Amino acid sequence: MRITLRDIRKQYGKVNANDGIDLEITEGSIHGILGENGAGKSTLMKVLAGYTVKTSGKILINGRPAEYDHPSQATRLGIGMLYQDPLDFPPLTVLENFMMGLDRGLVSREEAYRLRLREMADHFGFHLDPDTAVERLTVGERQQLELVRLLALGVEVLILDEPTTGISSLQKQALFSALRKLAREGKTILLVSHKLEDVEALCDRITVLRRGRVEGSMVLPFEGGRLLAWMFGNELAPPPCFERRTEEGAPTLAMEEVSALGGRAGLSPCQVAVRQGEVVGLAGLEGSGQGLFLRLAGGLEKPETGKIRVAEEDMTGKDHHAYRAKGVTFLPAGRLEEGLMPGLTITEHFALQQPKGIVIHWPKAWEMAQQGIGRFRIRGSPHSAAESLSGGNQQRLLLALLPANPLLLLLEHPTRGLDMDSVRWVWEKLMAYAAQGTSIVFSSAELDEIFQMAGRVLVFFNGVVVKNVRTCDTTMEELAKAIAGKG
Amino acid sequence: MHLFLENSRPKELLIKVFFIAGGVFCLTSLVLLVAGAPPWPAFYHLFVGALGSWSKLAQVLMVWIPLTLCACGLLYSFRIGLWNIGVEGQVVAGAIASTAVLRFGVESGSPSLMIVMAFAGGILGGSAWAILAGFLKTKGGVNEIFGGLGLNFVAQGITLWLIFGPWKRPGVGSMSGTELFPESLWLPTFLSARLSPAGLVLTVLALVAAAWVLNRTRLGLALKGIGSNPKAAYLHGLNPSTYFILAMGLAGGCAGLAGAFQVTGVYHRLIPVISSNYGYLALLVVMLANYRVWGSPWIAFFFACLNVGSIQLPIVLKLDSSLSGIIQGALVLTTLLVYGLRSAGSRLKLRG
């Protein structure tokens, strides 16, 4: 099946996730869609899969325009998508999941489907036990099941969104050989990834998206350098290097051979030390272990192995409140999901910061709120509910609630979703903390931001810290490679 | 949870009340017509049955007291986001504890002290029962709804066992309950009607205390914060598990007080249906009151009127007294429907 996308646009509020994308996907090819986090890849694929309704544009199937706005309609047309997080039913068995959507009619023909599942799994060399509950499978196995299920539904065009994240290298091999087989059989494969390595190994054509637009397209043989430049923009020049205190301060955080399970990739044993006043940026694709690292450092997750020290004291195994008492503060990426309490006003948030005591001194809390609003230029009033604030103002409120003299600030995507003005402003405040001697560790999807703000950068890939360098001693190109797993 | 939490303007509120009242009226009339009974006389007798005389009003208040006490307790647990359906069992546990104290006090020389002790015992009994559900949640990962429901059955079972076993009447145990306590151990009443001033005072105190704790204290704010987002509250230094237990303890204490009141002020013994389902009814009261302290006593009063008023119906109209249940149910359903339709409407407006 041949797919043509014409001028696809998708707006989320004021954000253009897809800003006029034209794309031609030929039958029997494996087409890679490459791009950074937030480049618009997933949105484009969800539009194609009928999961998201596009704002404007046309989709042609074999040259004929097709209109649909539901995944099941797309499946009927022969387009199926394997989502980043498999959309399956964890408590049901493999066989039950396989039959979902296939088996119609009153009487279930379980035995027939059992046979069909086995045949298809054998065809691709997958090992799937039909009677195991899906929740006991690995991500890789769930993916194999989903793949087989989509094919059984008669899908001709298969979209895979970041399929290689969180699966073993053996499963990756099995997946890749299955995809090659499918392409030979005339199916069309669309592979979405930000991992250059994978796309290069598998695809025969690559299209790079950047900021919602097509940046360029290339057929075999690929030039890695040009693809990277398309992905990260042409401004891969060495950025200005700020003089920062790095080596001399006392250690605030030390991770000694710390490893942990969780997230998509877990965290392999790592050795990291952060000193007073240091600003450390965590780079890497989403879900490569940065989030887990920050949560370990804040006592929100417990390590499997290794020791965590805060200000030279062994804190391994203690809970977040013990870390808090030592001066560690964690600001999560989900401001409303994890950081603030929706339904509570700004004043109420400040009132909770008051020193212990039975009765709340409301006038004082009101005053604190008023001061915070003034000093942090929050657009809201003391009785505004947290959820009524815009993203930028929610972040300002979180910053206003920080203790005066933290030892260590752990920030998950501190500027995600903020406008330029707020970003600059947030960093001004954070740098003032660093100047006081507070250590700052932050994760960011923007390489530019890490380069500008951090004195040191850690690059995560698949749960491993693959790079730990001063920003002065590296280049954007080198980091971009490390992020894409080619370091 | 936040269904009604938005502050609606008076005009909007009036429209809602109109629709809810209309809905309740239509639904209930429909049920009556199907049952072959004339709606108007039914409503009339319901009204007169509840508020037709001072003694009726006293009866209504005697229902209002335990219902409002339970509602007070639920305000704490709802504030932290817990569905304390175990409130029913907590009333029973309070009643059992206070019966135990009174049985001990039958021989005692100072009955008024024993009554005070019976109330204290009721509070402790209800609290302990609720805290048990709290620990099941925080330590055992049992959802408070299931834990509470399970404990309700256990409390009911213990009551029956006591009535037919260790505490049975001399001779043979019966469904009518344990031996009646001597009148010296009854909660004093005034008027010819059986209205207990102590009960009224305690209930008003419980309401004032709930309002104060929830609105003025750190504890109240912590409950609200955790109820709104336990993860964020944890990052802000609050420990949700501790507060879950505290909130359950407070909720159970109020429910236990209601149980103690049922024993000392109403039945003067332990009976199998000692809670009279006031716990479950109080869940509806608090929901309809929008989880607000000062809305609860009014809704509770209305529910109490329905309960007492419907006692008349079988005698006068040969109708079953379950009509009050139908009206209460219809009220909850139409309220949910009106608010649900409204928010669906505003969502549609947003999309369009």
Say whether both A214 and A284 belong to one domain.
no
How far is residue A410's CA from residue A302's CA, in Å, rounded to a whole number? 16
Query: Mutation test of the interface with chain A: which of B7, B78, B218, choosing the one with the most A Cβ atoms within 10 A?
Result: B218
Residue A342 lies in a domain: no
Give yes or no for residue A239 having a pLDDT over 60: no
Q: Would the CB atoms of B219 and A339 count as touching at under 8 Å?
A: no
Give yes or no: residues A266 and A187 share one domain.
Answer: no
Q: Is the preceding peptide bond at A221 cis, omega within 30 degrees of 0?
A: yes
Chain B residues closer than 8 Å to A401 by CB: 236
Do the domain assignments include residue A369?
no
Report the gap between the CA of B231 and the closest CA in chain A (Å).
5
Q: What is the CATH number of the domain that holds A166?
A: 3.40.50.300
User: Looking at beta carbons, which residues of chain B come within 8 Å of A358?
Assistant: 217-219
Based on the fold, state whether residues A135 and A266 are members of the same structural domain: no
pLDDT tens, position by position, A29-73: 999 998 876 788 888 999 999 988 888 999 999 989 988 888 888
pLDDT of residue B84: 96
Chosen for mutation from B3, B214, B217, B228 (greatest number of chain A CBs closer than 10 Å) is B228
| Token couple for B84 | 């304390």
Is the predicted pLDDT of residue A485 greater than 90, yes or no? no
Res. B23: pLDDT tops 90: no
Residues A53 and A196 in one domain: yes
The 10s digit of each residue's pLDDT in B260-270 is: 999 999 999 99
What is the side-by-side strand order in the sheet with A313-314?
A267-275, A251-260, A305-310, A313-314
C-alpha pair distances (Å), A10 with each of A66, A160, A477, B10, B32: 17, 20, 30, 40, 55
Cβ contact A338–B232 (<8 Å)? yes
Q: What is the chain B residue with the closest CA to A331?
A: B235
Residues A198 and A306 in one domain: no
Query: From the DSSP assignment, how many helices (H) and strands (E) are in chain B?
Result: 14, 0
Look at residue B1 and tell me whether its pLDDT is greater than 80: no
| pLDDT score for B8 | 56
Both ends of chain A: CA-CA distance in Å? 37
| Residue A322 CB neighbours (<10 A) | 14
By the CB < 8 Å criterion, does A339 face chain B? yes
Q: Is residue A11 part of a domain?
A: yes
Max Cα-Cα span within chain A: 74
- Tell whether the model's pLDDT for residue B274 goes beyond 50: yes
Residue A237 pLDDT: 45
The total number of residues shown for chain B amounts to 352
Decide if pLDDT at B190 tops 80: no
Provide residues of B within 8 Å CB-CB of chain A.
Answer: 2, 5, 216-219, 221-222, 224-225, 227-229, 231-239
Name the one residue in this structure whose structure tokens are 């059989």: A185
Q: Name which of B2, B216, B217 is nearest A343 (Cβ-Cβ).
A: B2
Task: Identify the band that residue B192 occupies on the pLDDT scale cut at 50, 70 and 90.
Answer: low
Residue B270's pLDDT is: 95
Tell me whether A320 touches chain B (CB under 8 Å): yes
Helices (H), B139-217: 144-164, 197-216
Residue A303 and residue A227 share a domain? no
Residue in B closest to A334 by C-alpha: B232
DSSP secondary structure code for residue B178 in this structure: S
Position A395 in a domain: no
Inter-chain residue contact A320 with B234, CB threshold 8 Å: yes
Cα separation, A181 vs A192, in Å, equals 18
A428 burial class (0-12, 13-18, 19+ CB within 10 angstroms)? exposed
Statement to judge: residues A194 and A273 lie in one domain: no
Q: For residue A166, what pLDDT band results from cuts at 50, 70 and 90?
A: low
Q: Is residue A429 part of a domain?
A: yes
pLDDT in tens, A82-137: 887 777 888 899 998 888 877 777 777 888 899 999 999 999 989 889 998 888 88
Instruction: Judge: A341–B232 Cβ closer than 8 Å, yes or no.
Output: yes
Percent over 70 (pLDDT), chain A? 95
Please state the ipTM of this predicted complex. 0.84
Considering the domain architecture, whether residues A117 and A31 belong to the same structural domain is answered as yes
Whether pLDDT at A245 is above 70: no
> Which of B225, B227, B239 has its CB closest to that of A352?
B225
Whether A209 and A295 share a structural domain: no
* A223 or A236: which leads in pLDDT: A223
Chain A's closest residue to B213, CA to CA, is A359
Closest-CA residue of chain A to B240: A321
B-chain CB neighbours of A351 within 8 Å are: 218, 221
Task: Identify whether A136 is part of a domain.
Answer: yes
**In this predicted structure, which of A245-254, A430-439, B22-31 has the lowest mean pLDDT?**
A245-254
**CB neighbours (10 Å) of residue B192?**
9
Would you state the pLDDT for residue A145? 92
Question: What mean pLDDT value characterizes chain B?
Answer: 88
Residues of A in contact with B232 (CB under 8 A): 338-341
Number of CB pairs, chain A paired with chain B, less than 8 A apart: 65
Using only C-alpha atoms, chain B has a radius of gyration, in whole angstroms, of 21
What confidence tens digit (pLDDT) does each residue in B160-188 have? Answer: 999 998 998 887 777 888 988 988 888 88
Q: What is the mean pLDDT of residues B11-33?
A: 84
Token pair in block for residue B254: 């109020």
CA distance B75 to B94: 18
Rounded Cα gap, residues B27 and B180, in angstroms: 42
Q: What is the pLDDT at residue B19?
A: 86
Angle between helices B218-228 and B197-216 (to 10 degrees): 70
Report the DSSP pairing between strands A328-331 and A408-412.
Answer: parallel
Q: What is the pLDDT of residues A431-468, one digit of tens each?
A: 999 988 999 999 988 788 888 889 899 999 888 999 99
Distance CA B346, CA B333 (A): 20
Number of domains in chain A: 2
Q: Phi first, then psi: what are they for B6, rounded to 5°? A: -70, 145
Angle, helices A420-436/A391-400, rounded to nearest 10 degrees: 10
By the 8 A CB rule, do B70 and B87 touch? Answer: yes
Residues 348-367 of A with CB under 8 A from B: 348-349, 351-354, 356-360, 362
pLDDT confidence of residue A319: 93
Cβ of B218 within 8 Å of Cβ of A344? The answer is: no
Distance CA A44, CA A79 (A): 13
A210 and A270 fall within a common domain:
no
Structure tokens at B65: 């007291």
Range of the domain at A124: 3-232
Q: Work out the minimum CA distance from B228 to partner chain A, whole angstroms.
A: 6
- Tell me the three state secondary structure of residue B319: coil
pLDDT digits (tens, 9 = 90+) for A418-435: 766 778 888 988 999 998
Whether residue A354 and residue B218 make contact (CB cut-off 8 A), yes or no, is: yes
In this structure, are residues A444 and A417 in contact, taking their beta carbons and an 8 Å threshold? no
Token pair of A478 as six digits? 């080198």
Counting residues of chain A whose pLDDT is more than 90, the rounded percentage is 43
pLDDT in tens, A260-276: 987 777 899 999 999 99
Residues of A in contact with B217 (CB under 8 A): 358-360
Residue A13 pLDDT > 80: no
Q: How far is B301 from chain A (nearest CA, A)?
A: 29
A343 contacts chain B (CB < 8 A): yes
pLDDT tier at A203, thresholds 50, 70, 90: very high
Alpha-carbon torsion, ordered A394, A396, A401, A403, to 10 deg = 140
pLDDT of residue A344: 93
In this complex, do B224 and A340 lie within 8 Å of one another by their Cβ atoms?
A: no
Q: What pTM, to 2 d.p., does this model score?
A: 0.77
Nearest Cα neighbor of A266 from A281, A287, A285 is: A287
Distance from CA of B79 to the nearest CA of A (A): 11
Per mean pLDDT, which range of A162-176, A286-300, A451-465, B276-290 is the poorest? Answer: A162-176
The nearest CA of chain B is from the CA of A336 a distance in Å of 8
Residue of B3, B80, B217, B221 to mutate, testing the A interface (most A Cβ within 10 Å of its Cβ): B221
Q: How far apart are the CA of A300 and the nearest CA of chain B, in angstroms?
A: 9
Instruction: State chain A's mean pLDDT as an integer.
Output: 87
User: Which pLDDT band, with edges at 50, 70 and 90, does B344 fall under?
Assistant: low
Per-residue model confidence as pLDDT tens digits over A366-394: 999 999 999 888 888 998 999 888 777 89
Does position B2 have pLDDT exceeding 50, yes or no?
no
Domain boundary at A232, A263, A291, which? A232
Let me know if residue A361 belongs to a domain: no
Residue A398: predicted pLDDT: 93
HEC string of B250-274 equals: HHHHHHHHHHHHHHHHHHCCCCCCC
Statement to judge: residues A173 and A282 lie in one domain: no
Domains of chain B: 38-318 (1.10.3470)
The pLDDT, as a whole number, for residue A473 is: 87
Amino acid at A451: F
- The DSSP letter of residue B25 is H
The pLDDT of residue B211 is above 70: yes
**Domain-located, residue A238:** no
Q: Among A339, A356, A359, select the one facing B235 at the smallest CB separation.
A: A339
Q: Residue A475: what pLDDT? A: 85
CA A340 to chain B, closest CA, distance in angstroms equals 6
Dihedral sign, CA of B106, B108, B110, B115?
A: negative
- Beta carbons of A360 and B2 less than 8 Å apart: no
3-state secondary structure chain A: CCEEEEEEEEEECCEEEEEEEEEEECCCCEEEEECCCCCCHHHHHHHHCCCCCCCEEEEEECCEECCCCCHHHHHHHCEEEECCCCCCCCCCEHHHHHHCCCCCCCCCCHHHHHHHHHHHHHHHCCCCCCCCEHHHCCHHHHHHHHHHHHHHCCCCEEEEECCCCCCCHHHHHHHHHHHHHHHHCCCEEEEEECCHHHHHHHCCEEEEEECCEEEEEEECCCCHHHHHHHHHCCCCCCCCCCCCCCCCCCEEEEEEEEEECCCCCCEEEEEEEEECCCEEEEEECCCCCHHHHHHHHCCCCCCCEEEEEECCEECCCCCHHHHHHCCEEEECCCHHHHHCCCCCEHHHHHHCCCCCCCECCHHHHHHHHHHHHHHCCCCCCCCCEHHHCCHHHHHHHHHHCCCCCCCEEEEECCCCCCCHHHHHHHHHHHHHHHHHCCEEEEECCCHHHHHHHCCEEEEEECCEEEEEEEHHHCCHHHHHHHHCCCC
> Which of A164, A199, A232 marks a domain boundary?
A232
| DSSP-derived pairing of the beta strands A15-25 and A313-314 | unpaired
**Between B5, B235, B239, which is nearest A330 by CB?**
B235
* Residues of B whose CB is below 8 A from A337: 229, 231
CB within 8 Å: A338 and B238: no
> Which residues from A are below 8 Å from B239, CB to CB?
321
| A221 and A282 fall within a common domain | no
Write out chain B residues lying below 8 Å of A347, CB-based.
none
Residue B248, H or E segment: helix B240-261
CA–CA min distance A472, chain B (Å): 34
Among candidate residues A232, A262, A295, the one where a domain is terminated? A232
Q: Which amino acid is at B44?
A: Y
Q: Which residue of B has its CA nearest to A410?
A: B235
